[in-house]
Structure 1
């Protein structure tokens, strides 16, 4: 790994799909991350930004090997959400095809909360948390294990204060 300018690092990587090349990862504050791929064998450019989801929103989507490699052999899909200090939220991730894992990250990429198996004894995930700081957050959807892929439903609910 070598540093160039403006905190841009060039890494020589072997990707999950065995494509070797030189990659420039230019990361700004989450949830805006730009990934530019310039493999030695092709000149393809990818720009990545998490999919926006509203508070009290629901998404039906699919996790596949075209999503973000986790480094553990699996893949993840990210959703950005704007939350306010004091918000109490429930993040419900269900899938009939893989063991769902949900993670909430703050704008610095720090894990705020993570859940693998929900309280109902299934492999679905349910995460409750209270937000301390107003800002952009990322909800990361991934499966447990290397071969996790398939359809899922992600539901975010804002809970009422009592």
Structure 2
């Protein structure tokens, strides 16, 4: 992970960040359940306006992944409460898979929660995201079943949390 730098996304990168998120979700077959989600993933500028948009880059500046960091009660929050930080739309470029990009981004979210003095990080994930679930488990996340929910009928998101 030492070759990965996590930082705030630059406005000039928003188009590429949105395209990367769509490509990542599409590569995993995750867009068929809710095709309208492409608009949300594509709108990196909107996410950066209402949340923190972090990117992972290599030393050459190549975009490897991104994550949206959300405060409770804001436009992109789904399950977070007042003393929690939430993350959404964790995306790794299909060409950067297996290089610990998702881990670097998730660890950056955990660090951000500590900086903000929050006690917990929460997130939601589709059942199909098994690779991500293994990562979250390694980082100490546990299921939070009382916050499972359906963004659209028939599509369940499973909630996870970790104390920081």
TM-score bracket relative to the smaller structure:
under 0.3
Q: Which structure has greater helix proportion?
A: 2
Give the TM-score taking structure 2 as reference length.
Answer: 0.24
Give the TM-score taking structure 1 as reference length.
Answer: 0.24
Which structure exhibits the higher relative contact order, with contacts defined as CA atoms closer than 8 Å and separated by 6 or more residues?
Answer: 1
Q: Which structure has greater strand proportion?
A: 1
